[in-house]
Structure 1
């Protein structure tokens, strides 16, 4: 863990909270509200994850009045203890504790914001909802599978900022009828967004546990960061960060500088060939021995379009090169053919804070093999360099692979 425990004073007594900060040492403030299992390892890791995104995060021990330092796991015995603590828990006193955390962050050099975000899971999801409605300095509130929100829908009239509700379709603690009730009520409030995640259950964002669903968790996290960035910052120039990374890859061909633009444990996945690396050691190995120094000297990237979001960038481009050396990552096992190749490519680049987290790179491998003369396109619905040429000039003929295209000539168009 990257954080430390601090004492939070509410004017009468004090309680512990886990505090973690970005690499820069400061960032906008977020209060993270625990599940019913206390400030356990899962919650601390989630706080560290948000700190990597650029936030100063505090996780208060909300059970301190009943039992200090609760850290439960997920065994049947732990569930029993957790539900007992939950049934004796006061939501109103917990909101006071969140307010005390806001005061602590307001006085901390590690926090650079006058307004705050609150993110919560399960029990904490309900508390995030209530904090967003009740506390003036909460700019945005994010609730993951909050339990019991339907009992407090009238409080939406007091919502101070924006609210995000992440709702699993198969949440046993929020049946379909209740979910619809919450969503239908939320429709009357323009600052509330509800997202339903199909075919996943409660705790889908709890990494490492049985209920965890990576696609849903990643999608929800992206939406959470987008909301926090819009409300609180910090703002990063993702285009400049990506351009710097690409320059180290293809121009200076410098492995240490390339890796320095990435998070501690990044990954790269070239989808068609499944090449790349997961984690610092394996990705460094890949870059050094199979990628950065393994590209033809005339390799060039022609930009087509770029879409930049809060924490993700999508690049559309054409890669061109002469196949005068074996290219492990792109055409593994194929000896140089000397042929010139042009490939439309798409890169989905995820950032965590100011550093690259991962790259998903897509291209049509059939087009590459056709251009190299390895795959005969005759009779197959595939094309060679035409795919790149048409991307450069949309006026080139369409539907050339469709034998039936001529049959619709002159027919009525509805």
Structure 2
């Protein structure tokens, strides 16, 4: 749920708007998002909604209200010029007072659990996030490619709460000498985490932007969630949530229950065969027609190891079955062979809040083809069930494929 709220300025000069986004649960830790120089535009609202899906009660305050209320710019040349003019007229001291007002207002809302509030900022907001760690009572701060942090390093001794900064190596608004001063001053301080993203320019995490780089944005987001959850939550039992999802997939084989464990628009990608689906409708159809009811009756998952992170679960397992039915997602178009198959399988499971967002599933397709008799291991450097056996018994011979070529 999204709405506008009013925030009272601490200096008695009036009040200003804020965009409030609530998680589906209706409550959670608070998160104040400090805007870019384009105001509370569609990008900032999308970011707010994104973090609400992660379980936060999100507030984006209008930090340009003292110059012009409700600024909402795009990214045309004219918008850039206007944005820079607003940035040039921005009173940073008053802006930080307004940030504290937003933090206080959010902390007082009944939806905010345990009165914990963090700050997340981008560009202009990236510097304000740094200053929030120095000047406000925020419980944690995360900043993306903050502009001008190097001019405020004298306040570093006032950092009181955890601070994470994402720094673009080639940020045109943060020259190398400024970046180096930031790193040299802040690196190693208790509670401070710095990440420099090689080859990245300013706004590498702005979806759809000129410098958007999805791999770096994903890595930064994972680190941001880890920082926020470590300080203010929300904390979910991701391992149990993943187990329940698997129970619905392979135990009760109920598509609707399976989809009920996922976000509104999830996706699944089986990497070797590129099968799965993107979005609720496509994935529901895939699960119904090609996955949940298509696995052989004796299908079993043998857990080997599990790593649980801030928003991901990585499962290592053996996937075992007898090929008595067609398996469209793994062996599309291949008639049942009656062969026994055992393969190592790796699942990377991403969550948003307490719902599963995506699955990336990996296995050795060559090993599957060998075991069902469609690939001759005598002709190629591939192995069959041996890959599964060696995963369970490290004492089995290594380098056998290399020895075959001698």
Tell me the TM-score range normalised by the shorter chain. over 0.9
Q: From the superposition, tell whether residues 342 and 185 of structure 1 become closer, same or farther in structure 2 (CA, over 3 Å).
A: same
- CA shift for structure 1 position 384: 0.2
- CA shift for structure 1 position 274: 0.2
In structure 2, what is the Cα distance between the partners aligned to 1:361 and 1:48? 27
Give the corresponding residue for 1:10.
9
Residue deviations 1:158-214, cap 9 Å, x none? 001111110112211112222111111112412111111122211111112222111
In structure 2, what is the Cα distance between the partners aligned to 1:145 and 1:113? 30
Residue deviations 1:311-336, cap 9 Å, x none? 10000000010111111000111111
Give the corresponding residue for 1:196.
196
Residue deviations 1:105-136, cap 9 Å, x none? 2221111133321000000000111011111x
In structure 2, what is the Cα distance between the partners aligned to 1:160 and 1:74? 35
The answer to whether the 8 Å contact 1:138/1:160 transfers is: no
After superposition, residues 250-289 of structure 1 pair within 5 angstroms as 250-289=250-289
Bigger mean CA deviation after superposition, 165-174 or 67-76: 165-174
Matching of residue 296 in structure 1 with residue 296 in structure 2: yes
Residue deviations 1:3-24, cap 9 Å, x none? 1000001252110000111111
The answer to whether the 8 Å contact 2:366/2:382 transfers is: yes
After superposition, residues 110-129 of structure 1 pair within 5 angstroms as 110-129=111-130
User: Partner of 2:113: helix, strand, or coil?
Assistant: coil
The answer to whether the 8 Å contact 1:39/1:71 transfers is: yes
The answer to whether the 8 Å contact 1:128/1:141 transfers is: yes
User: Partner of 1:342: helix, strand, or coil?
Assistant: strand
Give the corresponding residue for 1:77.
78
In structure 2, what is the Cα distance between the partners aligned to 1:196 and 1:61? 29
The answer to whether the 8 Å contact 1:29/1:113 transfers is: no
Give the corresponding residue for 2:63.
62
The answer to whether the 8 Å contact 2:318/2:345 transfers is: yes
Residue deviations 1:257-280, cap 9 Å, x none? 100100011000000000000111
Tell me the number of residue pairs that the alignment of Structure 1 and Structure 2 aligns.
Answer: 404
Residue deviations 1:128-162, cap 9 Å, x none? 11011111x21211010000000001111000111
Aligned residues: CA RMSD: 1.2
Q: Report the TM-score, using the length of structure 1 for normalisation.
A: 0.96
Give the corresponding residue for 2:216.
216
The answer to whether the 8 Å contact 1:141/1:163 transfers is: yes
Q: Please list every run of at least 4 consecutive aligned residues from structure 1 whose deviation after the TM superposition is greater than 3 angstroms.
A: none
The answer to whether the 8 Å contact 2:107/2:117 transfers is: no
In structure 1, what is the Cα distance between the partners aligned to 2:209 and 2:183? 27
- CA shift for structure 1 position 379: 4.1
Give the corresponding residue for 1:411.
none
User: Partner of 1:28: helix, strand, or coil?
Assistant: strand
After superposition, residues 26-37 of structure 1 pair within 5 angstroms as 26-37=27-38
In structure 2, what is the Cα distance between the partners aligned to 1:223 and 1:103? 25
In structure 2, what is the Cα distance between the partners aligned to 1:188 and 1:311? 25
User: Partner of 2:346: helix, strand, or coil?
Assistant: strand
In structure 1, what is the Cα distance between the partners aligned to 2:402 and 2:323? 30
- CA shift for structure 1 position 405: 10
Q: Report the TM-score, using the length of structure 2 for normalisation.
A: 0.98
Give the corresponding residue for 2:43.
42
